[in-house]
Amino acid sequence: MKIRLKAFARFREVMGAEQVLEVPEGTTLQGLLIRAGEGSGRVQGALFDGNDLKEYVVLMRNRQRVLRRDADCEVLVDGDEVAVFPPVAGG
């Protein structure tokens, strides 16, 4: 199945703005991010602390917020769009 992965702000710098990844049925949101980081220590280091997503990673699936703690059980379906953001701050 094909999943569109969009990265914003500093994640865009290491992952690129957008990519379409081919993943097997049953892939979770966290599994998609692991796949996106394969072969790139920069991507892996930006998203993960060991095997866990870093606390500041903000995730969205089809424009709906997904809590970081749910990323490993959020099963994707063909055509989903996943967005990855760093924390947003402003003044």
Domain boundaries, the chain: 2-85
- The CATH code of the domain at 2-85 is 3.10.20.30
Supply the pLDDT for residue 51: 85
Using pLDDT thresholds of 50, 70 and 90, give the confidence band for residue 90: low
pTM of the predicted protein model: 0.90
**Counting runs of H as helices and runs of E as strands, what totals does the chain give?**
3, 7
- Contact present, 68 and 26 (Cβ < 8 Å): no
Supply the pLDDT for residue 27: 97
pLDDT tens readout for residues 36-75? 988 788 888 999 998 889 989 999 999 999 999 999 999 9
